[in-house]
Amino acid sequence: MKKQILTALAAGMIALTGAMSAHADTPKRMINVLVLSNDADPDSLPASNYASRTVVDELKEQMRPYGYNIMDVDTMMANLGWKELGNRISRRDKMELVLASCSDGVSKVCPRMVAFVETRVDVRRVGNTGAFAFLNMSGDIVDARNGTSRGKWRPVEDKFTTPYPCAHACVDRVVANNAYNVAAELGDSLRILLDDSLNALEPVPSYPSPQADGDLRTDYVITFRNFTFGETGAMLDIMETQFGGNAELGESVSRSKFWQQNYTSDLNNTELTSYLYQLMSDMGYTEEEFRMSVDGSDIEIAKLGLRR
């Protein structure tokens, strides 16, 4: 039945992740990644730029199903009580933000990795009234724990049609209008280096091994509400591979973002709900961002509206 489940989920995941590569590993937890514009270069688009913010917002959504939580710089600064992070400050000064965010008391905004991004756009005229905006993004990834670089990620290059002339506001608009595709390409490139770096630095965490009590197994019905196909697929896979249970295709209701699943496990009700709470925490959810209700062998997990 697992093949049926993953086949059903695959179509939704492709639609959600767009051009992102389909060979991603199933995430075992959410990893915090801070994306910073390495924009001391005046030719690079700064972080405060509308296009930069729009691309990062898209990147958040596209990286989440792969286990990466893209950090919001503004939220991080608010937690730290910082008023402003200048556009053209040095890379070294920006790393001070990372060190401060990882100090005692504010660990919830501490990134595991920092991705520096330089974005340049070159507008070239074509004919009398048209032009192309050539986009080039490059940079590297830094280990937030010790400040060492993990290497450069593969540059992203693209081009978009634009009117001519096209100055700063025009470039902003053109890149922002193509933010989904730009974020998909950037996400692919970042994820390859992030996966390689984290696999080299850290063992993949595992959940406690469930202890079977003779041949007693419980049949559960687990309902997921308001989650994407990618999130639901990730949770089901972890429940099979890490919790020691067996998922069988349940009822899929036609309403959006609703999935109901039959699940057989050696775990009793208390153990399973405890593991599910741990899973939600590992995926980056706080207790205020989801609700879990239990009625015997029926368990429902609902993502609340305050989280996108």
Q: Is 257's pLDDT higher than 70?
A: no
* Amino acid, single-letter form, for residue 110: C
Look up residue 130 and give its two tokens: 């048209």
Which of the residue ranges 138-147, 170-179, 222-231 would you say has the lowest mean pLDDT?
A: 222-231
- For residues 213 and 130, the model is more confident at 130
For the segment 75-88, what is each residue's pLDDT rounded down to a tens digit? 677 666 666 666 55
**Whether residue 60 has pLDDT greater than 60:** yes
Tens-digit pLDDT profile for residues 106-129: 456 788 899 999 989 999 998 887
pLDDT attached to residue 124: 92
pLDDT at 248: 61
Kindly give, in sequence order, each residue whose CB lies less than 8 Å from that of residue 54, ignoring residues fewer than 6 positions away. 175, 176, 179
Q: Report d(CA 245, CA 207) in Å as an integer.
A: 12
pLDDT for 254: 37
What are the CA-CA distances from residue 143 to residues 7, 111, 152, 196, 201 (Å)? 36, 9, 12, 12, 10
String of b and e for 145-180 (b: at least 16 CB within 10 Å)? eeeeebeebeebebebebeeebeeebbbebbbebbe
Could you tell me how many residues make up the chain?
A: 308
Give the pLDDT score at 183.
Answer: 93
Query: What residues contact residue 186 under an 8 Å CB cut-off, 6+ apart?
Result: 55, 59, 117, 137, 156
109/149: higher pLDDT? 149
The predicted structure's pLDDT at residue 307: 52
Q: Which domains does the chain have, with CATH numbers?
A: 30-120+137-156+167-201 (no CATH), 218-303 (3.30.1360)
- 213-249 tens-digit pLDDT: 445 678 888 888 888 877 888 888 888 777 766 766 4
